Structure 1
Amino acid sequence: MKEGTRLHRLSLQVVPWLVAMLMRAWFGTCRITVHGLEHRRGTLDAGRKVVASFWHYTFPFVFYQLRRESATVMVSASRDGEYIARLAEEFGFSTTRGSRNNRGAQALKDLLKLAAAGESTAIVADGSQGPPRIAQPGAILLASRAGVPVLPVMWSASRYFAFRSWDRTAIPQPFARVDFYYGEPLDVPADLKGAGIEDYRRILECRLNELYDRAWRRQGRAGH
């Protein structure tokens, strides 16, 4: 076995576990206020399955905040995506791998089977490559075929770090005030095609961006 391959496999075993441990300790210092509980009560708390949808920048804290939920998350099929998949699994989620350019169609089929079997699922709305805050159709396709609503989620923080990535992936700073939002569930008609998918994709994008604006206005900011 090549040394680089051995080190990569070792890092896949160790790094996500270490990061998850750090996240639990780090985010555990934050003061978290949850908004939109009426939307949660009408879906997850009522036993109703959903397609959770959120912007890519939010994913580390979303994994932490929803760690007690049972769901399967679509994660990029890229080499780097393996770290994210294993991080999600550290927080109790199952994963399926796919993106626009790699196994995306098969990953959606996998999620659809799980949704049809009564499991909640989750998709990053703007995908693994962006552009940021532009929704892709995956969540709408899945919700339409599975007969479940899309549940938007979002967060903002009084203090945070943002990485120099395409989406400015963010994490709250220790002891920050975090506002976590459940948005209004989006019910999607069955068997949408073509223009119908595009119409509801735009509705989801608008709802996520309205939730984003509301969340960050609470911190006195236009965005992250």
Structure 2
Amino acid sequence: MADLLYRTSLAVVPPLYVVLSRLWFATCRVEVENPAVIEQVLAGGGGVAVFWHYSFLYIFHHLRRYPGVVMVSASRDGEYIARVAELMGYLTVRGSSHRGGVRALRQLVHHVRGGRHAGMVGDGSQGPARRLQPGCLLLAAKSGRPVLPVVWAASRYRVFGSWDRTVLPMPFARIHLAYGEPVYVPDGLSSAGLESRRQQLEEEMNALYHRLWLKTGRRCHDDLDKGRT
């Protein structure tokens, strides 16, 4: 019975979400900082868009206009996200740092070298929240394409009780979205060099995150920053 309900929900929920999300997000007012960057990256052959997990609901909608491939967790819950992504026009590869990550990375390298953007959740499928994992940097190094940070904040939103406190912008919210500067990673970089780039990119993304949320009158989207500087 449980399997039947799961299969039924897989058939119903993703297409329903895609239709409703288009109507939902169409009511939002979006301000984009540095919009020329993504066009420059596309003109150069594509890149690796990296974003925090809390933001994936709107990111998928926003980036759907670009030819993209995304890595989605191989879990049962990840199947919902994969089907939504495919209905939005993305290619998907399945894997994470905990399961099938090496194979998924090889597939992503192939697609990015072929001219597609890749989309990766910077803090992975299980966190910790807003702590960058090295996968996006490894993909950039192996593909020869830059990492492109993407961060957004919303004036009105709902927070879900997941580990990352996923954010859903409410209708008619103002969304502040920014593209960071492209980050190129040379292939063959030492472990120390890769870790240095990882820390630097994490700090830059979190600085951008806080700056955008301050525009909404908050420093962060929930209480995950209590005790942080």
Q: TM-score, normalised by structure 2?
A: 0.93
How far apart, in 2, do the equivalents of 1:133 and 1:83 lie? 23
1:92-171 maps to which residues of 2 (within 5 A)?
92-171=89-168
Alpha-carbon deviations, 1:79-105, whole Å to 9, x = none?
A: 100001111112111111111211111
Contact 2:211/2:219, CA 8 A, preserved across alignment: no
- The one of 163, 172, 180 equivalent to 2:177 is 180
Percent identical across equivalent pairs? 51
| CA RMSD in angstroms, aligned pairs only | 1.2
Query: Matched residue of 1:95: which SS?
Result: strand
Contact 2:45/2:116, CA 8 A, preserved across alignment: no
How far apart, in 2, do the equivalents of 1:13 and 1:94 lie? 18
Query: What is residue 22 of structure 2 aligned with on the other side?
Result: 24
Alpha-carbon deviations, 1:145-177, whole Å to 9, x = none?
A: 110000000111111101011110001111111
Give the C-alpha shift of residue 117 in structure 1: 2.4
Give the C-alpha shift of residue 214 in structure 1: 1.5
How far apart, in 2, do the equivalents of 1:66 and 1:115 lie? 15
Tell me which amino acid in the other structure corresponds to 1:178: I
Tell me which amino acid in the other structure corresponds to 1:155: W
**Residue 196 in 1 paired to residue 197 in 2?**
no
Tell me which amino acid in the other structure corresponds to 2:7: R
Q: What residue ranges of structure 2 are gaps of 5+ in the alignment?
A: 222-229
Give the C-alpha shift of residue 11 in structure 1: 1.4
Query: Matched residue of 1:42: which SS?
Result: helix
Query: What is residue 226 of structure 2 aligned with on the other side?
Result: none
Query: What is residue 43 of structure 1 aligned with on the other side?
Result: 41
Alignment: residue pair count: 221
How far apart, in 2, do the equivalents of 1:98 and 1:41 lie? 28
**Residue 223 in 1 paired to residue 223 in 2?**
no
Q: Return 116-125 or 130-139, whichever deviates more.
A: 116-125
Give the C-alpha shift of residue 73 in structure 1: 0.3
- The one of 2, 7, 15 equivalent to 1:9 is 7
Q: TM-score, normalised by structure 1?
A: 0.95
Tell me which amino acid in the other structure corresponds to 2:81: I
Alpha-carbon deviations, 1:104-123, whole Å to 9, x = none?
A: 11111111121222222111
Give the C-alpha shift of residue 47 in structure 1: 4.7
Tell me which amino acid in the other structure corresponds to 2:125: S
Give the C-alpha shift of residue 75 in structure 1: 0.6
How far apart, in 2, do the equivalents of 1:38 and 1:28 lie? 22
Query: What is residue 62 of structure 1 aligned with on the other side?
Result: 59
Q: What residue ranges of structure 1 are gaps of 5+ in the alignment?
A: none
Q: Return 33-42 or 171-180, whichever deviates more.
A: 33-42
Query: What is residue 73 of structure 1 aligned with on the other side?
Result: 70
How far apart, in 2, do the equivalents of 1:119 and 1:26 lie? 27
Query: Matched residue of 1:61: which SS?
Result: helix
Alpha-carbon deviations, 1:110-150, whole Å to 9, x = none?
A: 11121222222111000000000000000000000110000
Tell me which amino acid in the other structure corresponds to 2:27: T
Contact 1:141/1:192, CA 8 A, preserved across alignment: no
**Residue 85 in 1 paired to residue 82 in 2?**
yes
Tell me which amino acid in the other structure corresponds to 1:40: I
